[in-house]
Chains A and B, each alone.
Chain A
């Protein structure tokens, strides 16, 4: 699948933002006043910035407002609604803490749950697609949720918690890579795609067009796959191992925290790039790819 920068920015940044909002909603760290303002400003910048980046992915954004209408059937629609609800509720909680020194616990917990719901709905947009077997696995939602929780814990300064969550995430990421490699295209072949398996082995003799088209650009992306091993090492080393190790140091200064966050961000962006680049769509079988 084509790794569109807007979608990678969206899933990584908004995941981090909603992760941080989750911990803030639970009162971790128990900040008030100006410090709280800085934390919430960062969380909102990430979450809203990510959401705005996703709008850049739309070819016809003037109809984006209609995306809130189909929550009965569409995970993308549910995501939009969950995101708005989470941001609004957390805004109430945040203004209580920042301006009135009041901690509305129930609102915070509800907002935190909505933040996780938002990340879950994002993950389901990918998980639901049977056409992309590497995404259509039980591991996809927990990987997205752990990305948000672990990254949020890093930003929220929850050092030990972040180390534990990062470790679990790392194990699950490796599991998902191996399981995804084994799954391949989940039994779909050029023979099943064309129904010509009853004659014999099928190959593409002539493509339907000599140039590129939307289908090839979007769903037969092949550049990332040859760098898969390197990108996995980067994702695991910078995204998980280095920040987790830094969080286990005896004293974690602001500077060390900053390095850990930066390393994590680069690592998960590489991992998310791979999440798209490595994913094979069954449609590409019609092009023999």
Chain B
């Protein structure tokens, strides 16, 4: 059923620390590895060894540069996957009932046996969290590793999403964001965790911890080491520099 539940018992989700993420892409790889061989259709690649490789991923790491009014710019690595929104627009637009949000834990999933591959849910998502698999023709998205977190066949320390388990920097945290006493909720309060594109009213469950402010301003940027000038002007440039 593609109507959203009034409320969910838990709000399982991720907290991503933008101050700690080093952009190593390990979470991207481990996510692909786990999810291509477990829940639903594999995450296919097209032209994997050719000139234009592309494929389906549920988690991707962008790198941004934020430029303050004064001082040096700041590089921020930015992992992005489904935010398991409370008011998920991708769920209500689905015509077949394939997309749904679970009442017990708030995870947003696609039942691939019902998906007709129309792509409307991907259009409705502001975050680019859903990708239509080119070979299997069904919509793929982060399952919050629903086949790990409740899985009693694997050791207890592995019962977290694959990306969280693999992150070498400890930049990813998993827990119940509906419980104010949970570790992740405390972390969000302490670090002023934020929503992405709050203006769209999707109420994401996943939170992002913004980079901490620098304790000292970093305005000692390097001077340009060379210019584009050639010949006489290059000599003039050097000579004037020395004056």
Contacts and interface: CB of A to CB of B under 8 A. Distances in A.
Interface residues of B, number: 70
A99 B195 CA distance: 63
Nearest to B209: A195
A193 to B, nearest CB: 5
Contacts, number: 205
Contacts of A203: 64-65, 67
A131 B28 CA distance: 25
Q: Looking at A63, A186, A206, A287, which has the most chain B CB atoms within 10 Å of its CB?
A: A63
Contacts of A131: 89, 123-126, 200
Contact of A200 (B69, B94, B133): B69
Interface stretch (A68-76, A87-95, A171-179, A236-244): A68-76
Interface string B116-135: 11111011111110011110
Q: Looking at B61, B116, B122, B132, which has the most chain A CB atoms within 10 Å of its CB?
A: B116
Contacts of A60: 115-117, 136-138
Interface stretch (A44-52, A156-164, A210-218): A210-218
Contacts of B89: 129-131
Contact of A214 (B1, B132, B138): B132
B167 interface: no
Nearest to A135: B123
B94 A201 contact: no
A118 B106 CA distance: 33
B53 A132 contact: no
A67 interface: yes
A66 B97 contact: yes
Q: Is chain B's binding surface mostly helix, strand, loop or mixed?
A: loop
Contacts of A195: 194-196, 208, 210
A192 B199 contact: yes
Interface string A259-289: 0000000000000000000000111001100
A58 B119 CA distance: 8
Contacts of A215: 122, 128, 131
Q: Looking at A66, A77, A207, which has the most chain B CB atoms within 10 Å of its CB?
A: A66
A209 interface: yes
B95 A70 contact: yes
Contact of B62 (A80, A129, A201, A207): A207
A283 B116 contact: no
B80 to A, nearest CB: 7
A208 B54 CA distance: 12
Contacts of A69: 95-97
B123 A194 contact: no
A198 interface: yes
Interface in B24-81: 28, 52-57, 60-69, 73-76, 78, 80
Interface of B: 1-3, 18, 23, 28, 52-57, 60-69, 73-76, 78, 80, 89, 91-98, 113-120, 122-128, 131-134, 136-138, 194-201, 208, 210-211
Interface of A: 1, 57-64, 66-70, 72-77, 80, 125, 128-132, 186-188, 190, 192-196, 198-209, 211-215, 218-219, 281-283, 286-287
30 contacts: A58-B117, A58-B118, A59-B116, A59-B133, A60-B117, A66-B114, A67-B95, A70-B2, A74-B2, A76-B120, A77-B96, A131-B89, A131-B200, A188-B199, A193-B196, A196-B18, A196-B66, A199-B67, A199-B211, A202-B64, A205-B63, A209-B60, A213-B56, A214-B132, A215-B128, A219-B123, A282-B126, A283-B126, A286-B127, A287-B62
Given A59-B137, A72-B1, A192-B196, 16 more contacts: A57-B119, A59-B118, A59-B119, A60-B115, A61-B117, A63-B96, A69-B97, A70-B95, A73-B2, A73-B3, A130-B200, A131-B123, A194-B64, A200-B68, A203-B67, A215-B122
